[in-house]
Structure 1
Amino acid sequence: MSDGDLLETIGGVASPRSPVPPGMRCEDVDRLFAADPDLGALAVVNEQGRPLGLINRYDLITHLSRDYGRALYAKKPVTALMDPEPLTVEAQLGIDRLEALIADEHPSALLRGFIVTADGLYHGVGTALSLLQLSRARSERRNRSLERARAAAEEASRAKTRFLATMSHELRTPLNAIIGFAEVMRDRLFGPLTTPRYAEYVQDILASGQHLLGLINNILDMAKIESGGWTIHPAMIDPQEMAELCMRVLRPHAERQELSFATRFDPTLDEGYADAQAVRQILLNLLSNAVKFTPKGGRIEIGTQAMEQGGFRIWVSDTGIGIATEHLDLVLSPFGQVENDLTRQYEGTGLGLPLVKALVELHRGSFLLQSRLGQGTTVTLEFPPPLHSPQPLQSPRPL
């Protein structure tokens, strides 16, 4: 049995006090108790090492202090006052089982003590103090184990983040070259493409490269936020102007899918406090999701609203495929995707909403996702006013 296993059993902390023989007189046992104030109980053991009973300090003192008690019992063997049927447990018994046994069948053992044996032979005496020591040792061991597990998990998370960041950088360089050469061929800067089908292939290469680059950028951004390397620089911006800019970027994609855009802007909202680049990325991600997951003929709305004390609220809603209630937590976890007949046809990494949520929380704002399967989705974001003078905010670094 290892040291760790021993700490989980009563045998590891049972008091190895020398037992007393059955013929020892009660007055001699009383002297042993008097010499050691911390001694609560002693086992009575025969010559073969087998326990016969347990003599409790307070039981002995009580009997000897009664009228005629000392005269009656002092010269008698200790077996006259011992408990002949004490709780007796094997040393390898686990703490949980022992605690249940005492609570259910032998509650007096906490006060009177109990005998611990090893293969039926005397091993030691257990007391309430023994249980307390064992419980404390177990708690400390488990706390150390949890701390090691937490440290290992954090290191694994940091390693994953470093890997994603490195791979994203390595992939982005050749991808930019592929996209650049595809654009040169598409625009025929060095002459015509002799075969019309080549033009289709070039367009497919360009679209695929741009799509892949967008996914890699999302992974790189999430890795940067998780590693504490993302710093935002909030300033006073015009949220409605930002929303209109992002709608113009996505409008061609929406028109190809016969989707309509609508706005509901608060005329009293002139400016808000946020990082312009982060807000642009947030809105592009939300609008891209809305366009991606809204069937033909659907509707997308973006709105703004002024809040008290200078904050602002912005939301994006659609009439798309929606998300089931039980899957809302899943889509907010990095790389979390819902696989069903409606979503399987759509590509992506599952980083859009988690990235949006992380960027909003980096502003110390709030993120609310509301969705019903088959009826659409609404994402509402709230950006607070500046608490103090404008200053950069950095994503928290992992411990």
Structure 2
Amino acid sequence: MIGSEILETIGTVAVPLPSVPPTMRCEDVDRRFQADPDLGAIAVVGHDGRPVGLINRYDLITHLSRDFGRALFARKPVAELMDRNPLIVESSISVDKLESLIADEHQAALLRGFIVTRAGIYYGVGTALLLLQLGMARSERRNRALERARQAAEEASLSKTRFLANMSHELRTPLNAIIGFAEVIRKEMLGPIGNARYTEYVDDILSSGQHLLSLINNILDMSKIESGSWRIQPEVIDPVEVLETSLRIFRERAIGRGVHLNMAADPDLFEGFVDRQALRQILLNLVSNAIKFTANGGTVEVGAAGQADGGFRIWVSDTGIGIAPENIPVVLAPFGQVENDLTRKYEGTGLGLPLVKSLVELHGGSFELDSAPGRGTTVRAHFPPPPAAGTVVAAIAESPAAMSD
């Protein structure tokens, strides 16, 4: 039997079957075949040990079973019926090269067999069964290697998630303190600062701390989604209310950058079946991106509307710098950024759009991005309708995120 290892050369598995001389009578070779039902071919070897041909079981039996076949060939030397040009390979040939050689030039060797030599001297016989066993063994080995690689990747991903969770906790705790104390100082809650320059520094500390905290939260959120540990809890809510709440956060930032922030919600009341926190996270990322990449005097529009199937959609559209079509796959990949570290003018991790896309898809929805340089960007997220009555719990339990911990 062939082991499950990948065998490098054919010499390690060739069957060292006894050979026959070219002068042996066909009837004697036939007896060899009859004595061993598993024997498919026998090498015909000269007195110097070099193969001169190959006699195949099927060929010999066919000749002997024809009318007068045995009378004609039984006592003749096997050299008259042997294949005088069989495939002969050195034992050092790799299995891959042998397979290519048979496929390209010697397909008949699969049926007739082939001869293996060492330094030109007969060593053994190879058959289609041998190649099949080799293929099965190599496939088994590769499957085990792939399984080990999959397990290693899962373990590495789990380790990464744990590391990010621990690091996020360790970083967020002091960051929250920095942000909190900076707000206390900026508002002069314990008395006047006394120097206007200090106020500027406090504003910088507060802004930097909030930005760093946002980056940490995005990295942790993306890690949770990739590991399948993000749990969504869809419920029937008013999406417009979540939209209005989210926009209040960005009003001041938009005014500071000279960007017009507008809302275009469907005047007709509609409901959405969605995780409230996830929807808020989607809006925060999209609006933040839109304002960041829109120049002074530009416009950002945020909208929501119901759909005929009972679902709903949201969109965020801006008149910003836009994205070239060939760069859209880049910005949708985690940590993907079109500009390099030396030339990019906009800070960030490149996780905003991938995070939004993943959160929408966790709901079973679809994500669209339409953009062009100088024309701006529009992102649309479509959410499916609520499940039928009585299946809400099942829909939540069966979601990919809800099944993992």
- Give the TM-score normalised by structure 1: 0.91
1:395 aligns with 2:401: yes
Structure 1: state its 5+ residue gaps: none
Cα deviation, residue 175, structure 1: 0.7
Q: Within 5 A, what are the aligned runs for 1:304-323?
A: 304-323=304-323
Q: Within 5 A, what are the aligned runs for 1:203-282?
A: 203-282=203-282
Distance in 2 of aligned mates of 1:372 and 1:23: 82
Equivalent residue for 1:145? 145
Distance in 1 of aligned mates of 2:62 and 2:212: 85
Amino acid at match of 2:401: S
Structure 1 residues 193 and 263: alpha-carbon distance in aligned structure 2, compared to 1, 3 A threshold: closer
Cα deviation, residue 254, structure 1: 0.9
Distance in 2 of aligned mates of 1:370 and 1:154: 34
Distance in 2 of aligned mates of 1:305 and 1:364: 18
Equivalent residue for 2:86? 86
Cα deviation, residue 169, structure 1: 0.9
Distance in 2 of aligned mates of 1:397 and 1:7: 42
Equivalent residue for 1:128? 128
Paired residue secondary structure (2:246): helix
Structure 1 residues 151 and 231: alpha-carbon distance in aligned structure 2, compared to 1, 3 A threshold: same
Paired residue secondary structure (1:64): helix
Equivalent residue for 2:20? 20
Equivalent residue for 1:156? 156
Given that 1:162 and 1:223 are in contact with CA atoms closer than 8 Å, whether structure 2 keeps it comes out as no
Distance in 2 of aligned mates of 1:207 and 1:267: 36
Amino acid at match of 1:344: R
Distance in 1 of aligned mates of 2:253 and 2:343: 19
Amino acid at match of 1:345: K
Equivalent residue for 1:35? 35
Cα deviation, residue 55, structure 1: 1.0
Structure 2: state its 5+ residue gaps: none
Equivalent residue for 2:44? 44
Cα deviation, residue 286, structure 1: 0.5
Cα deviation, residue 345, structure 1: 1.0
Cα deviation, residue 5, structure 1: 7.3
Cα deviation, residue 342, structure 1: 11
Q: Deviations over 1:300-331 (max 9, x none)?
A: 11122211232111111111111121221221
Cα deviation, residue 47, structure 1: 4.7
Cα deviation, residue 338, structure 1: 1.4
Amino acid at match of 1:336: G
Given that 1:233 and 1:274 are in contact with CA atoms closer than 8 Å, whether structure 2 keeps it comes out as yes
Distance in 2 of aligned mates of 1:69 and 1:116: 30
Given that 2:179 and 2:205 are in contact with CA atoms closer than 8 Å, whether structure 1 keeps it comes out as yes
More divergent stretch after superposition (282-291 vs 245-254): 245-254
Identity rate, percent: 66
Distance in 2 of aligned mates of 1:144 and 1:159: 22
Distance in 2 of aligned mates of 1:121 and 1:374: 75
Equivalent residue for 2:202? 202
Amino acid at match of 2:7: L
Given that 1:64 and 1:73 are in contact with CA atoms closer than 8 Å, whether structure 2 keeps it comes out as yes
Amino acid at match of 1:370: D
Say how many residue pairs are matched: 397
Q: Deviations over 1:167-200 (max 9, x none)?
A: 1111001111111221222222333223321221
Cα deviation, residue 144, structure 1: 1.9
Amino acid at match of 1:395: A
Distance in 1 of aligned mates of 2:403 and 2:118: 52
Given that 2:231 and 2:402 are in contact with CA atoms closer than 8 Å, whether structure 1 keeps it comes out as no
Given that 1:90 and 1:120 are in contact with CA atoms closer than 8 Å, whether structure 2 keeps it comes out as yes
Cα deviation, residue 364, structure 1: 1.6
Equivalent residue for 1:363? 363
Cα deviation, residue 396, structure 1: 5.9
More divergent stretch after superposition (71-80 vs 198-207): 71-80
Given that 1:364 and 1:384 are in contact with CA atoms closer than 8 Å, whether structure 2 keeps it comes out as yes
Distance in 2 of aligned mates of 1:180 and 1:6: 62
Cα deviation, residue 365, structure 1: 1.4
Cα deviation, residue 150, structure 1: 2.0
Given that 1:165 and 1:219 are in contact with CA atoms closer than 8 Å, whether structure 2 keeps it comes out as no
Distance in 2 of aligned mates of 1:311 and 1:372: 28
Paired residue secondary structure (2:294): coil
Structure 1 residues 258 and 341: alpha-carbon distance in aligned structure 2, compared to 1, 3 A threshold: farther
Amino acid at match of 1:64: L
Distance in 2 of aligned mates of 1:28 and 1:333: 71
Paired residue secondary structure (1:395): helix
More divergent stretch after superposition (75-84 vs 149-158): 75-84
More divergent stretch after superposition (32-41 vs 310-319): 32-41
Cα deviation, residue 293, structure 1: 0.6
Cα deviation, residue 93, structure 1: 2.4
Distance in 2 of aligned mates of 1:186 and 1:296: 27
Amino acid at match of 1:390: V
Distance in 1 of aligned mates of 2:265 and 2:134: 65
Distance in 1 of aligned mates of 2:58 and 2:278: 74
Equivalent residue for 1:286? 286
Distance in 2 of aligned mates of 1:341 and 1:43: 67
Structure 1 residues 248 and 299: alpha-carbon distance in aligned structure 2, compared to 1, 3 A threshold: same
Equivalent residue for 1:100? 100
- Give the TM-score normalised by structure 2: 0.90
Q: Deviations over 1:318-351 (max 9, x none)?
A: 1111112122122122212111699711111111
Cα deviation, residue 46, structure 1: 3.6
Given that 2:4 and 2:137 are in contact with CA atoms closer than 8 Å, whether structure 1 keeps it comes out as no
Paired residue secondary structure (1:231): coil
Given that 2:270 and 2:305 are in contact with CA atoms closer than 8 Å, whether structure 1 keeps it comes out as no
Given that 1:321 and 1:342 are in contact with CA atoms closer than 8 Å, whether structure 2 keeps it comes out as no
